[in-house]
Structure 1
Amino acid sequence: MAVMRIHQINCGTLLGLVPCRVLLVEAPDHLVLVDTGLGLRDVADPSGRLGPMRHALRARLDPAETAHRRIEAMGLDPRDVRHIVITHLDADHIGGLADFPGAQVHVSAEALTWAVRTPRWVERRRYRRAQWAHGPDFAEYVYGTDRWEGFRVRPLDHVAEGMVLVDLPGHTVGHAGVLVPGGGGGESDDDNDILHAGDAFYSRGQIGPAAANARLIGIPERLMALQPAAVELTHARLAALAARRRDDLSVVCAHDPSGPGGIGT
């Protein structure tokens, strides 16, 4: 398996302290993003792109914090982003899609159906259609019989060798995590495999050693969940996974302030 470099980067900040964490994967001949965070068009037109929710998000709209600019600052070419794998279609996870018009966008079929094709009342008010109005090249996936550590998965070897879409229900219908293989040496984040769990949890204290704020964080988490009955089970399964694979797997989420890109770093 080809060894890939994995970067955890912050592409937008919410509420003054909460990062929008994405993964940038350097595959042998291209780049892959896992989520995009907020994008350049969101910065330029927050009213049209984010709508009333911009007041609740209180996002710091800085073009330097977009994935496009972060990639440039690393000395890489944003045009080399050929694939974007998204955990779900909330505004703070897909705002940058239009900044990479040549990339194919990979998503679970269930998420695409409920957000784009046949949204219910709640999805029509939650998701921002302006963020996919440019017509992304969506590739959608249905889970079959493949399993990884007990989770339903869909291999994405055509995106990057060893990458896997992981079913993590709760936050939205069709919500997924993305597993990216590292070097396996365990000496740095690049060496460990990384599971980006999207919004399957909000703080590492929810799936690891108890944190003082974990219970409080659970209140807004459940308010935002479109499948609230699945949230606790997903937490439990991720906690067991993180404990079982503590030496070679990093389980991260999008908005943990104590992780990379947050106030603790």
Structure 2
Amino acid sequence: MTIHHLDCASMAPVGGRALLGAGGRLTGRLVGHCLLVETDGGLVLVDAGFGTADVAEPGRLGRAFRAATRPRLTLEGTALQQVRALGHDPRDVRHIVLTHLDPDHAGGLADFPQAEVHVFADELSAARELATRGERDRYRPAQWAHGPRWAEHRTAGESWFGFEAVRPLAGTAPDVLLIPLRGHTRGHAAVAVRRGGTWLLHCGDAYFSHTEIDPLAPHCPPGLRVFQRLMAVDDPARTHNRERLRDLLRTRPDEVVPFCSHDPHEFDRLSGAAEPDAVDTAHRPAR
């Protein structure tokens, strides 16, 4: 499989490198790390970033979200345009696999109406029910008002490197797995994609900085620490899963390459690694 790393949700929150770990002195830098996977059965998109409708109508992202993240909304940055720039027909995106349904991950769904959208059932229920104030603030139903072809998955399946309840996605490439990592949201997931002899593990928002899963000296920039605690629906579960990811990196450094959605350091290291059937062991979080 050929795997492309795309930034589909660039953001520049106030805070700077000292608070957020990346960016300038006053303004931070966050990316929206998505994957485009070329398979024999068509294209698979992991997370969808901001969509063309978000660019045309930024208000649908919500005032609080825009104030906190300061999104950089351009048509060129959407998954739709990046798929086209790679020479593909967007209609060939057959599946979208979501880590969760926050607005910087689900905005591009409407740009691929033909795709089957894979998500954990708990996450879809949270987005539909909007049972809490936090969930009413974070989810933007306009992003899926077009009626996606949902494929709801239960957290039951096989075992993968000690992570329980891993479910292969029926109908996608055989080496794409959905892994529950509850904490940031009710149905938050990681997505594992086999590439040669290595697994790429898209951890979504299970952590925000590569320094958090450093096996030797883990730490989190203060601004990201506060933000993650505020956004988590289950912070003990989030921190527990982050520790499991750190252990995975420590014990399986040659087999699994974890990365999160928003760390520009990880994105910059991986975004050149799109050659098929190649494993670049340098593309992993700094130690």
Query: Above 0.5 in TM-score?
Result: yes
> What is residue 280 of structure 2 aligned with on the other side?
none
Query: Aligned partner of 1:32: which letter?
Result: V
Q: What's 2:210 paired with?
A: 204
**Residue among 97, 104, 108 paired with 2:120:** 108
Please say if 1:220 is aligned against 2:232.
Answer: no
1:77-88 to structure 2, matched below 5 A, reads 77-88=89-100
1:1-265 equivalences under 5 Å are 4-15=1-12, 17-117=29-129, 119-151=131-163, 152-184=165-197, 192-208=198-214, 209-210=216-217, 213-261=220-268
- Residues in 2 aligned to 1:244 and 1:7: alpha-carbon distance in whole angstroms: 26
Residue 100 of structure 1, CA deviation: 0.3
Q: How many residues align?
A: 254
Superposed CA offset, 1:64-85 (max 9, x none)? 0100111111112211101001
Paired residues of 2:157 and 2:168 also in contact (CA < 8 A): no
How far 1:248 moved relative to its partner?
Answer: 2.5
Q: Given the two structures, how large is their TM-score scaled by the length of structure 2?
A: 0.83
**Residue 189 (structure 1) aligns with:** none
Q: How many angstroms apart in 2 are the aligned matches of 1:114 and 1:36?
A: 19
Q: How many angstroms apart in 2 are the aligned matches of 1:175 and 1:206?
A: 18
Q: Which runs of 5+ in 1 are unaligned?
A: 185-191
CA distance in 2, matches of 1:224, 1:11: 21
- Give the superposition deviation at 1:261: 4.8
Cα distance, 1:214 vs. partner?
Answer: 3.8
Q: Distance in 2 between matches of 1:258 and 1:211?
A: 15
Percent of residue pairs identical:
45
Provide closer, same or farther for how the CA distance between residues 210 and 238 of structure 1 changes in structure 2, counting only shifts above 3 A. same
> TM-score normalised to the size of structure 1?
0.90
* Secondary structure of 1:18's aligned partner: coil
Output one character per residue of 1:8-35: Cα deviation in whole Å (capped at 9) or x when no partner. 1101211262100011111113000010
RMSD: 1.9
* SS in structure 1 at match of 2:10: strand
Matched residues in 1 for 2:170 and 2:106: separation? Answer: 22
Secondary structure of residue in 2 paired with 1:241: helix
By how many angstroms is 1:117 displaced?
3.6
Partner Cα distance (1:138, 1:47) in 2: 25
More displaced stretch, 32-41 vs 158-167: 158-167
Contact 2:189 2:203 in 1 (8 A): yes
1:98 CA displacement: 0.3
Structure 2 portions without partners, runs of 5+: 13-27, 273-287
Shift of 1:213: 4.8
Distance change >3 Å, CA 52–CA 224, structure 1 → 2:
closer
Output one character per residue of 1:84-111: Cα deviation in whole Å (capped at 9) or x when no partner: 0101110000000000000010000111
Deviation, 1:212, is 6.2
- For residues 218 and 243 of structure 2, the distance between their equivalents in structure 1, rounded to whole angstroms, comes to 15
Measure, in 2, the Cα distance between the counterparts of 1:119 and 1:26.
Answer: 37
Q: CA contact under 8 A between 2:80 and 2:111: conserved in structure 1? A: yes
> CA contact under 8 A between 1:12 and 1:62: conserved in structure 2?
no
The Cα shift of 1:217 comes to 2.5
**Counterpart secondary structure, 1:19:** coil
> What CA deviation, in whole Å up to 9, does each residue of 1:218-251 have, x standing for no partner?
2211111111111211111000111222112210
**AA at the equivalent of 2:171:** H
Contact 1:81 1:103 in 2 (8 A): yes
